Amino acid sequence: MTLAAAASESRFPGGVGPVRRGCLTPFGDESGTSFRSGGRRKFDRVPPKVPSVSGHVFVREGARGPVWYVKWRDAQGQHQKALGAVWPDKGPPPSGFFRPPRSNGDPPPDVAAERAAILTDARRGALEAVRSGVSFADAAEEWLAHGERERDWKRSTINDYRSAVRAHLLPAFGPVPLERVTTRAIETWRSQWLAEHRAPRQASKLVALLHAIFERAKRTHGLSDNPAAGVERLKIRYDPSAYDFYSPEEVWALVRAAASEQDGAIYLVAAFAGLRRGELLALRWRDVDFERRSLRVQVNYSHGRVVTPKSGKGRAVPLAPGGGAGAGAIEPAVELHRHRGSRVPG
């Protein structure tokens, strides 16, 4: 055995025998690295392609003087961060300050080092994102399960979130890997969704759900960035003409046409006290404080269960709110209903 062959066998367990110089090419095996002779390079496993990350530094005048900034771009979009103020005096700058630009305009060593560290971290984050192996659908399901089991979401909240995810978010992002959902992709989807549904308020709520899902994914799947955080917010204006409210006269017409006095009392309380449907259904006589002339709203009836109100807190609502055509209407209606009897328990 030649010395070269012996060296090959001692360096690579299992031995590959004598080979010609320049013909060693890597391929994967159980040890992680081995070599194969031949003229072509062959990879059994292609390494993931890391998105390119580039950036530069610049000085911008601030309210208290010039400040160094770094701007970089990665797979999630463009980012900018203030590094610190320019140190105007001679000698080493204190903490939080950086040297001024060189005479040729290049950044000083301390600024160049800070830029290099930020770009290195961005590349590491991109590599971790590529290797996450988690789809948006997986992350959304994990987020919903976390809210139900660990954050004690109400059944109505869970149903609303799950319905929105299933109807709107999964068709757009379901099988897409987390790292490929970018800020631009979300904004493009939102524009298309708005063109079809014309509901800016609901679009904003859907983006808020995306933000929550990606924030959870940062904790559980090592996602480096939240693409929904960079989405430009919609400007939503309140338009009273878009809502058709009952006038006090129409409320009284409903009360007069009610099938029973109990239904009439419910209509009055709903209209003039502002209770939600579940809060109305959960009302009991013990919740009516005639001495203080108020209703105690402490529970809410939702999906077959009695739970706390939507705000999570109880509140007191006056029986005789001041002003308007409905002023003083609730108290006599409740009193009349109490004296004539009711089948409502409690």
Quick one: what percent of the chain has pLDDT higher than 70? 75
Q: Is 158 helix (H, G, I), strand (E, B) or coil?
A: helix
How many CB atoms sit inside 10 A of residue 143's CB?
Answer: 20
pLDDT tens digits for 19-37? 444 443 333 333 333 334 4
Which region among 117-126, 180-189, 192-201, 334-343 has the lowest average model confidence (pLDDT)?
334-343
Could you please report the per-residue DSSP string of 97-120? EEPPPPTTSPPPHHHHHHHHHHHH
- At residue 343 the predicted structure's pLDDT band, cuts being 50, 70 and 90, is very low
Nearest to 334 by CA among 241, 237, 261: 261
The total number of residues shown for the chain amounts to: 346
Quick one: what percent of the chain has pLDDT higher than 90? 29
Which region among 108-122, 202-216, 257-271, 295-309 has the lowest average model confidence (pLDDT)?
295-309
- At residue 322 the predicted structure's pLDDT band, cuts being 50, 70 and 90, is very low
Beta carbons of 49 and 180 less than 8 angstroms apart: no
pLDDT in the model for residue 153? 86
Residue 184 has pLDDT above 70, yes or no: yes
For the purposes of burial, counting CB atoms within 10 Å of the CB of 99, is it exposed (0-12), middle (13-18) or buried (19 or more)?
Answer: middle
Calculate helix-pair angle for 330-340, 261-273, nearest 10 degrees. 150
Beta carbons of 187 and 206 less than 8 angstroms apart: no
For the purposes of burial, counting CB atoms within 10 Å of the CB of 19, is it exposed (0-12), middle (13-18) or buried (19 or more)?
Answer: middle
The torsion of the CA quartet 287, 289, 290, 291, rounded to 10 degrees, works out to 170
Distance CA 181, CA 220 (A): 17
The secondary element (H helix, E strand) that includes residue 10 is: helix 3-11
Beta carbons of 337 and 261 less than 8 angstroms apart: yes
Ordered structural domains, the chain, with CATH: 3-37 (no CATH), 54-130 (no CATH), 136-230 (1.10.150.130), 248-340 (no CATH)
Residue 2 has pLDDT above 70, yes or no: no
Tokens 């003409």 identify what position? Answer: 241
Residue 267 has pLDDT above 50, yes or no: yes
Strands 305-307 and 300-302 turn out to be: antiparallel
Distance CA 217, CA 214 (A): 5
Instruction: Read off φ and ψ for residue 294, nearest 5 degrees.
Output: -150, 160
Strands 65-74 and 54-62 turn out to be: antiparallel
Q: Is 59 helix (H, G, I), strand (E, B) or coil?
A: strand
Predicted TM-score (pTM) of this structure: 0.50
Q: Is 8 helix (H, G, I), strand (E, B) or coil?
A: helix
Beta bridge partners of 307: 300
